[in-house]
Amino acid sequence: MMPDPGVHTYVNMLFNFDNTYAQQLEGFYSSCQTATVPSPKLIKLNTKLASELNLNLDDVSVNDQINIFSGNQLPQGAAPLAQVYAGHQFGGFSPQLGDGRALLLGEVVDKNSSRFDVQLKGSGRTLYSRGGDGKAGVGPVLREYILSEAMHALGIPTTRALAAVATGEKIMRDTPVPGAILTRVAASHIRIGTFQYFAARGETEKVRQLADYAIARHYPELKESNNPYLSLLEAVCDAQALLVSKWMLIGFVHGVMNTDNMTISGETIDYGPCAFMDSYNPAAVYSSIDKQGRYAFQNQPPIAQWNLTRLAESLLAVIDTDQERAVELVTKNLNEFPEKYSTYWLQGMCCKLGIKSTQQNDLDLVNDLLAEMHEYHVDYTSLFRDLADVLTGDNKAAHKHFSNTMKFEQWLDRWRDRLASSELTITASIELMNQVNPIYIPRNHKVEEALEAAISVSDYSKFEMLVDVLNRPYLQQFGKGEYEQPAPKEFGEYKTFCGT
Residues labelled catalytic: 260
Q: How far is the CB of 310 from Mg ion (least distance, A)?
A: 15
- Between 179 and 438, whose beta carbon lies closer to ligand AMP? 179
Rounded Cα distance between 438 and 390, Å, is 16
- Between 111 and 291, whose beta carbon lies closer to ligand AMP? 291
Site for ligand AMP contains 473 (CB under 6 A)? no
* Residues near 382 by beta carbon (within 8 Å), at least 6 away in sequence: 397, 401, 484, 486
At residue 5, what is the residue type? P
Between 243 and 282, how does the x/- string for binding to ligand AMP read (CB under 6 A)?
-------------x---xx--------x-x----------
Site for ligand AMP contains 372 (CB under 6 A)? no
Contact 183, 118 (CB under 8 A): yes
Residue nearest to ligand AMP (CB): 132
Contact 149, 470 (CB under 8 A): yes
Site for ligand AMP contains 293 (CB under 6 A)? no
Rounded Cα distance between 101 and 116, Å, is 19
Q: How far is the CB of 136 from ligand AMP (least distance, A)?
A: 7
At residue 58, what is the residue type? D
Site for ligand AMP contains 100 (CB under 6 A)? yes
Burial class (CB in 10 A: 0-12, 13-18, 19+), 121: buried
Rounded Cα distance between 277 and 293, Å, is 15
Q: How far is the CB of 151 from ligand AMP (least distance, A)?
A: 17
Site for ligand AMP contains 133 (CB under 6 A)? yes
Contact 161, 463 (CB under 8 A): no
Burial class (CB in 10 A: 0-12, 13-18, 19+), 454: buried
- Between 11 and 186, whose beta carbon lies closer to ligand AMP? 186
Contact 30, 82 (CB under 8 A): yes
- Between 100 and 338, whose beta carbon lies closer to ligand AMP? 100
- Selected binder of ligand AMP within 98, 139, 178, 354 (CB under 6 A): 98
Between 208 and 247, how does the x/- string for binding to ligand AMP read (CB under 6 A)?
----------------------------------------
- Between 25 and 371, whose beta carbon lies closer to ligand AMP? 25
Dihedrals φ, ψ of 217, to 5°? Answer: -85, -40
Per CB under 5 A, residues contacting Mg ion are 261, 270
Residue nearest to Mg ion (CB): 270
498 binds, among ligand AMP, Mg ion, none (CB under 5 to 8 A by kind): ligand AMP
- Between 261 and 314, whose beta carbon lies closer to Mg ion? 261
Q: Between the CA of residue 221 and those of 60, 305, 332, 400, what are the distances in Å?
A: 38, 24, 22, 50
Contact 254, 275 (CB under 8 A): no
Site for ligand AMP contains 134 (CB under 6 A)? yes
Packing angle of the helix pair 204-218, 300-319 (nearest 10 deg):
120
134 binds, among ligand AMP, Mg ion, none (CB under 5 to 8 A by kind): ligand AMP
Q: How far is the CB of 449 from ligand AMP (least distance, A)?
A: 24
Q: How far is the CB of 154 from Mg ion (least distance, A)?
A: 22
By DSSP bridging, strand 176-186 and strand 136-137 are antiparallel
Q: What is the contact surface with ligand AMP in residues (CB under 6 A)?
A: 97-101, 129, 132-135, 256, 260-261, 270, 272, 498-500
